[in-house]
């Protein structure tokens, strides 16, 4: 695998973000870690430093576009940026989500990701290309939920669908100018977020294994990588059904817990 010397990861205090930070850490690497919990961020940073990397933490809200742009633009050269921060919420009682929950989920999962990716894209377009013409890589952590209009996780699925489509669509023109974009659509990963789910999670995977698969796909230049393949295939099949059919199937599945705020 080609080496990544400088990386920036949001949502790095736990789960996939933490696993990716650790997987990228080695002597000579510099990892910039963002999150909302300083104590947990420092735990991730310590794990990175134990592997020889220089790790810097920043407590920041990805929904603050100006703060995110200032932070990213002040770092310098970046080989890899991963927009991983996000929240999961849904409906467990068959009622529509509250207006507040819909707005919070969409703002965090979509706007928060774009607040990371857009300044990173602008910055990378100005970076000198390497011998292959590559200026940098940007990764969006979406979800297999992007492929299905799940009635019990409507705003979550919508936020991930929009993020996935924007990333894949933008990847074509970005690649022409030396910036690689990749949308990652994982299934269930063992994290603090999925620990709240009170239902069976088929194909659930450890976060360190997921990080290995994600980085392999990114370094291979994939524009979209959905895994496990069999869950991704089933999700696409259900998503291709007429809406009333897919709703009958998906409405029977337990929903995510509602947002507690």
Q: Which residues are catalytic?
A: 156
How far apart are the C-alpha atoms of 45 and 25, rounded to whole Å? 10
Neighbour tally for 224: CB within 10 Å = 19
Residue among 159, 176, 177, 169 nearest 103 (CA): 159
Contact 239, 148 (CB under 8 A): yes
Q: What 3 state SS string does 165-216 have? A: HHHHHHHHHHHHCCEEEEEEEECCEECCCHHHCCCCCCCCEEHHHHHHHHHH
Residue among 52, 41, 36, 37 nearest 18 (CA): 41
Angle CA(132)–CA(136)–CA(142) in degrees, nearest 5?
Answer: 125
Q: Which two tokens stand for residue 113?
A: 């990701």
Contact 199, 166 (CB under 8 A): no
Residue among 32, 129, 44, 134 nearest 82 (CA): 32
Angle CA(212)–CA(215)–CA(216) in degrees, nearest 5?
Answer: 80
């Amino acid at each position: 695998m080609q080496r990544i010397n400088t990386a920036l990861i949001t949502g790095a205090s736990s789960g996939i973000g933490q696993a990716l930070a650790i997987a990228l850490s080695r002597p000579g690497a510099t990892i910039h870690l963002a999150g909302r919990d300083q104590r947990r961020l420092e735990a991730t940073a310590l794990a990175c430093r134990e592997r020889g990397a220089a790790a810097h933490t920043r407590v920041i809200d990805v929904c603050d576009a100006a703060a995110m742009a200032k932070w990213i633009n002040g770092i310098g050269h970046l080989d890899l940026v991963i927009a991983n921060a996000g929240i999961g919420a849904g409906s467990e009682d068959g009622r529509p989500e509250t207006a507040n929950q819909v707005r919070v989920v969409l703002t965090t999962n979509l706007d928060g990701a774009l607040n990371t990716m857009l300044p990173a894209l602008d910055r990378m377009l100005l970076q000198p290309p390497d011998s292959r013409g590559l200026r940098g890589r940007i990764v969006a952590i979406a979800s297999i939920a992007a492929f299905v209009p799940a009635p019990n996780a409507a705003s979550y699925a919508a936020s991930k669908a929009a993020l996935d489509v924007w990333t894949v669509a933008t990847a074509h023109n970005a690649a022409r100018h030396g910036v690689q974009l990749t949308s990652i659509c994982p299934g269930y990963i063992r994290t603090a977020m999925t620990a709240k789910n009170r239902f069976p999670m088929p194909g659930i995977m450890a976060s360190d294994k997921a990080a290995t698969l994600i980085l392999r796909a990114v370094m291979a230049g994939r524009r979209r990588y959905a895994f496990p393949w069999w869950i991704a295939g089933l999700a696409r099949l259900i998503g291709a059904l007429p809406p009333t059919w897919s709703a009958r199937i998906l409405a029977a599945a337990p929903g995510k817990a509602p947002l507690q705020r």
